[in-house]
Amino acid sequence: MLDNLYLYGPADAPLHEATPVNPTSAKSRTRAAMSAELLVAHQRGDVRVVIGRASDFIGPRVRDSAFGEFVFEPALAGKRAQTIGRPDTLHTYSYVPDVGRNLVLLGSGDDAYGRAWHLPNPPTRTTRHIIIDVYDAVAARRTDVTALKRPMLAALGLFNRNIRELRHTYYQFAAPFVVDDSAFRDAFGGHTTPWPDIVASTVDWYRAHRTPPELSPTLTQATTLEVSS
């Protein structure tokens, strides 16, 4: 099973598999219950279970993510990227092709079953540094980022359900959010794509599937689109 990191809740240290479960919303409580039920089913012998947990997605075909279309579409249009929280804090992102490869590794070894693992990720960097690399890749060379804080998300969320959901995981972007994947690496090695290749492949995909500049979305425009639809 592919899982996320919601069940841990806010943390003041890198997340590892023994980090206490501390869900703080209905969304995260659901994730915690799902993991617990699956592992109990494994212990009963009902089904063989292994869980791979990933952070926020980045990569080709990834649009609905904190590092998705609201970064790459504006960058290709020479506009300012949008994100949430504090872009100068460290944040771990998961490259989707690596997620798939590492899930295959988990499913291929009997020793992996019966527990959850943090899937390997590229080195943790700040969101702003990655966005600057995106701008460099499209020859825009900007360093400014629009970062939406909690009050703005609350206001926009009154009209847009997708933005409303971002409030539940805002804590991940308001403080350092670092994932420790050393247990997986020690046990299986794993696949990790370098950041330059991640940025290049994702920019190439967005360029090939680019939204017309006049329709390029932003988080604030998404509210207008939701109201008018």
- The total number of structural domains that make up the chain: 1
- Domain with 187 in it: what CATH number? 3.40.50.720
pLDDT of amino acid 224: 35
Q: What domain range includes position 204?
A: 2-228
Angle, nearest 10°, between helix axes 195-208 and 127-137? Answer: 60
- Closest Cα to residue 172, out of 51, 85, 111? 85
**d(Cα 41, Cα 61) in Å, to the nearest integer?**
33
pLDDT along the chain (229 residues), means of 10: 95 95 92 96 97 97 90 93 92 98 93 96 97 93 81 64 71 95 96 98 95 58 38
pLDDT of amino acid 74: 93
pLDDT of amino acid 155: 65
Output the pTM of the full model.
Answer: 0.88
**d(Cα 193, Cα 22) in Å, to the nearest integer?**
31
pLDDT of amino acid 147: 85
Strand-pairing partners, residue 179, are: 15
pLDDT of amino acid 229: 31
Residue 179 token pair: 């994932």
pLDDT of amino acid 228: 31
Angle at 157 between CA 156 and CA 158, to 5 degrees: 90
Strand-pairing partners, residue 90, are: 126
